[in-house]
Structure 1
Amino acid sequence: MENLPFYQEINNEAEIFEHAWRNKLPLLLKGPTGCGKSRFVEFMAEKLGQRLITISCHEETSATDLIGRYIIKGAETVWVDGPMTTAIKEGAILYLDELAEARPDVVVAIHSLTDHRRELFIDKLGETIKADPNFMLVASFNPGYQKGFKELKPSTRQRFIALSFHYPEAKTETHILEKESGIDHSNAKKIVAIGNKIRNLTELGLAETVSTRLLVDASILIHSGLGKRQSMHVAVVEPLTDDEHTTTSLKDLCDLMI
């Protein structure tokens, strides 16, 4: 347990994950960017002693990328398993990060893995592979970001049990910054206050607000000796927006509160 990656549990999510794994239920993690979804999966894989295979989905991610393909090797053509097929055979935890970003054929491919069948049909081989008893499918997506752009269909969402993730309350987030960066309590508290202030400025129209990940990055820079204001500018403000006026306003806010 000493080698576990740091993760601050908030709402009994570790127990829920473990029950899902034991009962062979797929799990969907819902929440904004940088709120700890991926770290949570890493933490649970280590806790359960399971191999973790992570796929960062994007608009070009296809079922072939996950299942496998034939490749030319020397004078022959050989089949190479993709990461999903490997996870199914080995009994690993397969984590599809930002599933809604992937192409529709990926969602179709996982359907038979998310119900009682727990199997994968590989049409190029004409084979059906039964999942190892320890195999678990975990997926994540960002409902706020996907709204009006890419959504997971209800028929897909209802194949999973689901956990909602949010940015932690100030006290918990301060503790996370201290543990992740080594920064002192006073500065961690100030950084969290700035993050919450920006999160409440809905009139800025930011596509994404300040994530815990950005606050950790700022804390790391400050702890390493970079100036506080500059650390906040490059780790928090600049990643959020390219709009000149918004950037100036956020920098002024950080300077004032730091």
Structure 2
Amino acid sequence: MKVAEKTIFYKAVCSEIEIFNQINQLRLPLLLKGPTGSGKSRFIEYMANEVNKTLVTVSCHEETSATDLIGRFIIKGSETVWIDGPLSIAVKNGYILYLDEVAEARPDVIVAIHSLTDHRRELFIDKLGETIRAHSDFLLVASFNPGYQKGFKELKPSTRQRFVALSFDYPKPKIEAEILVNETGIQADIAQKLVAIGTKIRNLTELGLTETVSTRLLVDAAKLINNGLPKRLAVHVAVVEPLTDEQETIQALNDLCDLMI
């Protein structure tokens, strides 16, 4: 569980800030859709700071269960005591709960949040036999990667239709370059070259990459370059290597990046 505290940089690419403010006022559940590293988590952290609300983030994986979110009994000394999980804490205190990659979690997690995504706004804790009414400020936000999950782990229509949804994609080159400059302090011309590399690789569908170059990878490369690492080496370790383990593909990407950098 992570609680956001510091102010961070975020560059709006469409009407997502206005949409979030409306959703926050109406307390509607929100689903963020988009590829890895396209700014979903950064966006919700930024908005939590903007509206001055505590953000509780849970990174979901295949072992994430409803018990992990709701809470459990533990042995403390000679007593058995109940410990609230991040979902219960957020519901009671009116925080924003962000379930990152919610489709990765076990099915019982989806069942647990259903009653929080409709008019009831309630959380049932079966181990305590209690039903908790959500605080008036509570907001549920989830994210998932439709491209990665397709045909593997997908959200059911009955779950998706409980959310208002926002789609994210990689920013346009001008905005992405501005993000790199603001995030890392790198020179604008180098930022533009990195963005050009990212854009080129994203269009190389013939390489069969499972994931493509995210803004996050470009930020990492920019940080390394700005810290003194040679540009070609920074691009290799921060952009090329994370994308694939196939040596032929690595060589092809390296050749492309060398020409462009």
Give your verdict on TM over 0.5.
Answer: yes
Match of 1:256 in 2: 259
Matching of residues 122-133 of structure 1 within 5 Å: 122-133=125-136
CA shift at 1:24, angstroms? 1.0
1:114-171 CA-to-partner distances (Å, cap 9, x unmatched) read: 0000010000000000000110000000000000100000000000000000001111
**Does structure 1 residue 224 correspond to structure 2 residue 223?**
no
1:23-61 CA-to-partner distances (Å, cap 9, x unmatched) read: 010000000000000000000000011000000000000
What TM-score results when the alignment is normalised by the length of structure 2? 0.97
Partner SS state of residue 193, structure 1: helix
Q: Percent identity?
A: 70
Correspondent of 2:183 among 180, 184, 195: 180
Matching of residues 31-180 of structure 1 within 5 Å: 31-180=34-183
What TM-score results when the alignment is normalised by the length of structure 1? 0.98
Partner SS state of residue 31, structure 2: strand
Report the AA paired with residue 52 of structure 1.
L
Poorly superposed stretches of 4+, deviation over 3 Å: none
Q: How many positions carry a matched residue from both structures?
A: 256
Ranges in structure 1 where 5+ consecutive residues have no aligned partner: none
Partner SS state of residue 110, structure 1: helix
Distance 1:182 1:115 in 2: 44
**Does structure 1 residue 20 correspond to structure 2 residue 26?**
no
Distance 1:68 1:62 in 2: 10
**Does structure 1 residue 209 correspond to structure 2 residue 175?**
no
Distance 2:129 2:172 in 1: 51
Ranges in structure 2 where 5+ consecutive residues have no aligned partner: 1-5
CA shift at 1:18, angstroms? 1.2
Report the AA paired with residue 138 of structure 1.
V
Distance 2:204 2:172 in 1: 17
